[in-house]
Structure 1
Amino acid sequence: MKQTQPIWLKGIVTLKVNGHYPERFFDFCVRHQIPVWSIKKQSDLECLGDIYLKDIKRIRQLRRKTHYKLSFVKKRGFPFFYQKLKGFKQLLVTLLIAILFFLYLTQSIWFIEIEGVSTEMRENIIATLEDYGVKKGQVKFLIDNPLEIQRKLLNDYPDILWVGIVPNGITYQLEVITKKQPPEQDNQRRTHLYAKKDGVISEMFVAKGRPLVGVNDFVRKGQLLVTGELNHIEDKDTEEDDLKESSETEAEIYATTWYESQVTIPLEGMYQTETGQTVNKYHLQIGSFQLPIWGFRSTGFEFEYVESSNHGFSIGDWTPPILFKKNTHKEIVPAKIERSEDQAIAIGLQQARQNLLRNLGQTTSIIDEKILHQTTESGKVNLHVYFTVKENIVNTIDMNQGD
């Protein structure tokens, strides 16, 4: 007789057969394609065996053709378990609603805390967060991850230097650091202006104070350019220092300065472009084990990169090691670019200009540039560039030194 593996979901019944040679009834069932297993003969007139719940009707029809008596001594499996649960339907529905309500309360945002900004800016940020979907009563699974929200805030608020976002239970905490400019009154208190680097003065705009240098003068780093002492006393033996009048200074002094820059540009480069084709795969992660729940097939992409986002939940301060993980596979196409030597030089000069202007500020302009030395080796072009620049050389601090 073929051994049958029971399936709990179908429902299993232990059948007792009474009569002479009771095992023959089970053999009769098998010949009519009714699975029977775990057959045990209790006595000469009694035998037990397991059958599926769905086969009871057919077994009763077979029994009418025999002289055996049948009885059911044990029932088990999902159908019987479900019948018992139906008696507790109201209790189970109430328990399910309570669990769902509890999960909603613990996995939603109910408080938004923002630190490091004024009250007015705090209200503006809260309104912006609501546009992002971050608001009271919102389920955390339905909003973007903190890094994406951080990127949006930095784009929408240029005055924000840094923002840290920490979802802490039912509280959404933001710590904001804004860009701070030096107070104007501190700048106005300066009574002396010094040169922050060597250069030849090309333009001067002195609004307050007495200039000590003129156009076309060569000045060195730390040299006094404008003073707030308006009285000029040539006789050093007199004791009239206390009569000198000091005032605030304000000036813009532009000078011609010089810089050197070294850049290296490869003649061959690799870059990647997205084709727009994406495939999403979802996993349930329990500890270090990942269980795929959607997206089982291969993406078929020859080259791809994967963006991952994790969504978990917490109960108070306890965070279970269970995550819902989404992997977005994006197809990319690598491409190789070859540059001529002239193209590499043009790219190198542009890169050197951008780096210089980024370090010196927006008021700086490049007057002239010259390649002092140029070499090509190992598939790379090396440039040594000399720049002549016009920039404001007034120091931003009131001391006799450069930066």
Structure 2
Amino acid sequence: MKQLKPLWFKGYVTIKVMGHYPERFFDLCARRNIPVWSIRKQSELECLADVYVDDIHKLRKIRRQTHYKLSFVRKKGMPFFIKRLKNFHQLLISLFIACLVFLYLTQSILFIQIEGVPTEMEKQLLTSLNNYGIKKGKLKLLMDKPDQIQSKILTDYPNILWVGITPNGVNYQLEVITKKQPEVKERQQRTHIYAKKDGVISEMFVAKGRPLVEVNDFVKKGQLLVTGQLNHLNQNDEDDNTENQDEQLIEVEAEIYATTWYETKLEVALEGNYHIETGEFKNKYYLQFGSFKMPIWGFGSTNFEQEKIELDQHTLTVFDWTIPIAFLSQTHKEVEIINQERSVEQAVEIGLQQARQNLLRNLDQTSSIINEKILHQSFENGKVNLHVYFTVKENIVNTIETIQGD
């Protein structure tokens, strides 16, 4: 006979059967399909066995039809465990409330610390954090992620170079590094101006100094353009005036614009795929225990042909210990793939626009593109290859003093 394994959550009891030939009582139970296991004989008139709680009323019917006596020796299982817990319901309620308070205190922000800024700026940051939803007593689960808060602070405070945010238990720590303004020092006199690159002089504005070049002159990188030496010395006079040469140099102020040239090569595909969100989405929420995820909201499939999934995870931490329980939220957004085909003319225009943006990104704000010309254009493997030549107007004054060239 196969030994039955008791189910703890159903609950079972150990009964004692007393009477002549007590094993016959269990034979009657088997005939009426009542599960009985762990039958053991204590004496000629006593037997012990285990039965489920649900079958007790059936055993009592059999006992009334026989001369045997029944008694309960031991009770085990979840029904009896719950019954015992009911006697301590006040203690359990208090324990449950204490656990909720403990979780709230460990998962919320109680202190906000800001380091690296003066008191006035610290007050401004506290006000901004309050507007961002970072408040004392608020659950971290309901706050934005640190990288999102960091991005907002850097956007709202241009004078902040870097900010590090560390939610450490009940502390919300911010370490701020501001952009340090260089100390005002006595500026060394710029006595000479050199060309930053090759070009043809198009405009010159010399406030102080003696120009050595004129408009429409071609200059090379490192060539002296304006000097602070006002007196032009002859070779015979140089030896006599060497000691007074420094006294004859003045500070130079000038802006010199020249026509310069750039070449760039790029490829533009005639066919491209773009992902566009349709606006339809579905949220799903899970509780994660280790590697196991249990869905708690948002059941079923999304039925989106193409979708983009954004995952947000919130973990529980108690002091420095991370609890292996996390709350996951998944946002399934429907996307539509659009296959766009361009003509050669459209590809060329897009390529020129990209080339202009890349060039202007590397120039200062005073520079401008005068002219552009396509030197070579070819079509190969579904792509348009462009070789573009740009003519640019830019300031070629070298900002490095007393050093020729870059």
The verdict on a shared fold, with TM-score over 0.5 as the criterion, is: yes
Q: Distance in 2 between matches of 1:259 and 1:182?
A: 34
RMSD value, Cα = 3.3
Q: What is aligned with 2:70? A: 70
Q: CA deviation at 1:29?
A: 5.3
Q: What is aligned with 1:156? A: 156
| Bigger mean CA deviation after superposition, 267-276 or 12-21 | 12-21
Q: CA deviation at 1:272?
A: 1.2
Q: What is aligned with 1:236? A: 238
Q: Distance in 1 between matches of 2:369 and 2:264?
A: 13
Q: What count of residue pairs does the alignment treat as equivalent? A: 399
Letter in 2 for 1:313: L
Note closer, same or farther for the CA distance 1:195–1:122 as it changes in structure 2 (3 Å cut): farther
Note closer, same or farther for the CA distance 1:190–1:386 as it changes in structure 2 (3 Å cut): same
1:89-100 to 2 correspondence within 5 Å? 89-100=89-100
Q: CA deviation at 1:176?
A: 4.1
Letter in 1 for 2:215: V
Is 2:345 the counterpart of 1:346? no
The structure 2 residue matched to 1:402, chosen from 366, 380, 405, is 405
Deviations 1:15-36 (A, max 9, x none): 2222344455455556667x43
Note closer, same or farther for the CA distance 1:293–1:251 as it changes in structure 2 (3 Å cut): same
Note closer, same or farther for the CA distance 1:70–1:280 as it changes in structure 2 (3 Å cut): same
Q: What is aligned with 1:84? A: 84
Q: CA deviation at 1:207?
A: 4.5
Letter in 2 for 1:45: L
Note closer, same or farther for the CA distance 1:126–1:58 as it changes in structure 2 (3 Å cut): same
Is the 8 Å Cα contact of residues 266 and 381 (structure 1) preserved in structure 2? yes
Letter in 2 for 1:70: L
Letter in 2 for 1:326: S
| Bigger mean CA deviation after superposition, 191-200 or 158-167 | 158-167
Q: Distance in 2 between matches of 1:339 and 1:266?
A: 8
Deviations 1:355-388 (A, max 9, x none): 0001113222111000001111111111000001
Q: What is aligned with 1:36? A: 35
Q: What is aligned with 2:383? A: 380
1:302-321 to 2 correspondence within 5 Å? 302-321=305-324
1:191-206 to 2 correspondence within 5 Å? 191-206=191-206
| Bigger mean CA deviation after superposition, 331-340 or 91-100 | 91-100
Q: Distance in 2 between matches of 1:121 and 1:400?
A: 41
Is 2:245 the counterpart of 1:246? no
Letter in 2 for 1:203: E
Note closer, same or farther for the CA distance 1:307–1:243 as it changes in structure 2 (3 Å cut): same
The structure 2 residue matched to 1:337, chosen from 336, 340, 345, is 340
Is 2:107 the counterpart of 1:107? yes
Identity %: 61
Note closer, same or farther for the CA distance 1:281–1:186 as it changes in structure 2 (3 Å cut): farther
Deviations 1:70-91 (A, max 9, x none): 2111111122222333444444
Is 2:388 the counterpart of 1:389? no
Note closer, same or farther for the CA distance 1:359–1:133 as it changes in structure 2 (3 Å cut): same
Q: What is aligned with 2:294? A: 292
Note closer, same or farther for the CA distance 1:168–1:360 as it changes in structure 2 (3 Å cut): same
Letter in 2 for 1:260: E
Deviations 1:158-205 (A, max 9, x none): 444544333333333334455567777677853433321112222233
Q: Distance in 2 between matches of 1:227 and 1:332?
A: 63
Q: CA deviation at 1:337?
A: 1.6
SS of 1:374's partner is strand
TM-score (structure 2 length as normaliser): 0.84
Letter in 2 for 1:360: L
Q: Distance in 2 between matches of 1:384 and 1:183?
A: 46
SS of 2:125's partner is helix
Is the 8 Å Cα contact of residues 283 and 326 (structure 1) preserved in structure 2? no
Structure 2: gaps spanning 5 or more residues: none
SS of 1:123's partner is helix
Q: Distance in 2 between matches of 1:221 and 1:182?
A: 29
Note closer, same or farther for the CA distance 1:81–1:336 as it changes in structure 2 (3 Å cut): same
Note closer, same or farther for the CA distance 1:285–1:158 as it changes in structure 2 (3 Å cut): farther
Q: What is aligned with 2:19? A: 19
SS of 2:9's partner is helix
Deviations 1:284-329 (A, max 9, x none): 142xx23333356443333333322332233333334443333333
Is the 8 Å Cα contact of residues 134 and 143 (structure 1) preserved in structure 2? yes
TM-score (structure 1 length as normaliser): 0.84
SS of 1:50's partner is strand
Letter in 2 for 1:14: T
Note closer, same or farther for the CA distance 1:389–1:188 as it changes in structure 2 (3 Å cut): farther
Structure 1: gaps spanning 5 or more residues: none
Is the 8 Å Cα contact of residues 287 and 295 (structure 2) preserved in structure 1? yes
